[in-house]
Amino acid sequence: KNQVEQSPQSLIILEGKNCTLQCNYTVSPFSNLRWYKQDTGRGPVSLTIMTFSENTKSNGRYTATLDADTKQSSLHITASQLSDSASYICVVSANQGGKLIFGQGTELSVKP
């Protein structure tokens, strides 16, 4: 069964600190892996997209890594800001047709 699992479920960090979120997936066939940021009551917003041949991709303070052999990904956030407080969702696309398989998200809270 295609699944995406994330850890931790929730995380609290102080403003300015770094953090790393984890994602494991069992999706086949694999097309690409995305990280989305979802603010409460809003739609997900794409942060990064990686195919199996890409090991790392950055978007500002966000850096995603992908190990297609172990089927693991991480999202590293540097110098966190209060506005980073949101749910971060790992999403895998099984094919180019578009169906996305979502993880349950990591709820990040950045405190002053």
Partner 1 sequence: EPEVTQTPSHQVTQMGQEVILRCVPISNHLYFYWYRQILGQKVEFLVSFYNNEISEKSEIFDDQFSVERPDGSNFTLKIRSTKLEDSAMYFCASSVAGSFYNEQFFGPGTRLTVL
Contacts of 59 (CB under 8 A, 6+ apart): 47, 48
Which of 14, 28, 70, 98 is the binder for partner 1 (CB under 8 A)?
A: 98
Binding mask 9-48 for partner 1 (x = CB under 8 A): ----------------------xx-x------xxxxxx--
Q: Using only C-alpha atoms, what is the Rg of the chain?
A: 13
Q: Is 61 in the site for partner 1 (CB under 8 A)?
A: no
**Spatial contact of 23 and 4, defined as CB atoms under 8 Å apart:** yes
Rounded to the nearest whole angstrom, what is the least distance from the CB of residue 107 to partner 1 in the complex? 11
7, 59, 81, 104: residue in contact with partner 1 (rule CB under 8 A): 104
Q: Least distance in Å: CB of 59 to partner 1?
A: 12
With CB under 8 A as the contact rule, the residue among 64, 105, 108, 110 that binds partner 1 is 105
Integer angstrom CA distances of residue 99 from 46, 79, 102: 15, 33, 10
Nearest to 18 by CA among 78, 96, 93: 78
- Residue 106, interface with partner 1 (CB under 8 A)? no
**Polymer length of the chain:** 112
27 DSSP assignment: -
Residues that bind partner 1 (CB under 8 A): 31-32, 34, 41-46, 49, 51, 89, 93, 96-105
